[in-house]
Structure 1
């Protein structure tokens, strides 16, 4: 299960980023044992006692108020995505019921199948490709069987098929952190999902890169991300991935990849589309 200590781990990672000078304090002793703010420095700035803040980081304050969390966020200089993530983590200890396995709604699959000019995938909360069109297959995982019973998981590909993923993504490290942010977001919403927790344990065991980045707790809403895709057949394309959430489907979404109109990337994406073989009737 996603640990109830997740909030504390996140707060410690963000506390380490803030120096005393950042919040108007003198640096104090020359050699500090911990990076960033100490608990006793942060607590009064947030308007709480040191003991209360310590219990918060230790997962012993399940009923912490939104006002306290917002005060802590202000001191830690969290952005909007990080604030939302912190509030979700605070609810993890309150609601840890198991969740039902996700099922793709037929209408979502029909929508993905109908898109012919742009790559499109229906993505599950674990990062599974629940459905994809031919162009998405050609772009993201041409080495996988399009019609196979098992669909790929983009997070597994990025961390466990690194020869392929590092070639496809010139900014592989940022892509990997975005993957972890996607997982963090899913786990903070569905802490009781057995598949999510099993995936995290698998990646912690098999990927040194995942283990190192997981401790950083990267946060992003992953709604719109532009990056370069270095495709073996058509070359580099700058594409924007727009994630359209389906709130009634428990964490699922549809991701559509687009290039700027009239750009070289659009021409190359069109060229890639021309290589896609339509399924036999």
Structure 2
């Protein structure tokens, strides 16, 4: 992964994010009058974004080339409005436009608090797991391992949800709409990349996935961002069949890059019955600790 704030190319992530956002908006959607003649670019031209944001064309061109280091909050707000960014995209724009300085030390290990382990122990009848940086699986209960894969049996570096999504063939048949689930996972990883541009393990992960999967390469280049909050996914489990599970995510106050995800089924639904079957099929003890360090950085 390229450091977004250095090198001859300037702020690479800011440049590509702005280009991708303006390419998705037509002048009509932005409230501009249609101009005669053929357009050579999809979406908005640079001068049109500058007009909508109230900045000079030269300023915006330099900004999109990643040449501005101290762009103001006022300008970023104006660009977010001009490009019709949602709250998640706006947050990402601020992250990549004003990246934090590169750390001189490695990122500290992530560790799951004992209280969160106890929460997973209590959630014995529904899948629950804790994801950390880069979607590393820090802990998973018995039901989560039965639904997805036995993360405990994997080497530490492979205990990662996005690696499972793209590099484990079982994932493509587990998700009924694998493409939608995979794209949202890539977008969530891109949001994290905007906050942690100097994460060397993230760079290794992106390089590995880009090398081995053309879908990941294509969707990473889209620069979409997504914040995991809540929703629902359809699964086709090889043992219990169809499942529709809602999910809720909860961030840790002590570590914002550590998220608890809980999956539930509608009471009285076939999916609830299927979860019960999954619980009876998975007879392993309910321990949730993955052996060894939860995350090395």
Is residue 234–residue 243 contact of structure 2 (8 Å, CA) maintained in 1? yes
Q: How many residues align?
A: 277
Deviation, 1:102, is 2.9
The one of the two structures with greater contact order (alpha-carbon pairs below 8 A, sep at least 6) is 2
**Which residues of structure 2 form unaligned runs of 5+?**
5-10, 288-297
Aligned to 2:224: 218
Deviation, 1:239, is 0.7
Aligned to 2:234: 228
Whole-angstrom distance in 1 between the partners of 2:94 and 2:107: 23
Which of residues 66, 73, 77 is equivalent to 2:80? 73
Which of residues 127, 139, 147 is equivalent to 1:131? 139
Aligned to 1:18: 25
1:197 to 2:241 alignment: no
Give the TM-score normalised by the residue count of structure 1. 0.92
Whole-angstrom distance in 2 between the partners of 1:148 and 1:177: 24
Aligned to 2:166: 159
Whole-angstrom distance in 2 between the partners of 1:53 and 1:124: 36
Is residue 141–residue 286 contact of structure 2 (8 Å, CA) maintained in 1? no
Aligned to 2:295: none
Deviation, 1:22, is 1.5
Aligned to 1:118: 126
What's the secondary structure of 1:239's corresponding residue?
A: strand
Q: Which runs of 4+ in 1 moved over 4 A?
A: none
Is residue 3–residue 198 contact of structure 2 (8 Å, CA) maintained in 1? yes
Is residue 71–residue 98 contact of structure 2 (8 Å, CA) maintained in 1? no
Aligned to 2:290: none
1:259-274 alignment runs, 5 A limit: 259-274=265-280
* Distance verdict in 2 for CA 1:233–1:67, change over 3 Å: same
**Which residues of structure 1 form unaligned runs of 5+?**
none
Give the TM-score normalised by the residue count of structure 2. 0.87
CA RMSD of aligned residues (A): 2.0
Whole-angstrom distance in 1 between the partners of 2:239 and 2:52: 55
Whole-angstrom distance in 2 between the partners of 1:223 and 1:186: 14
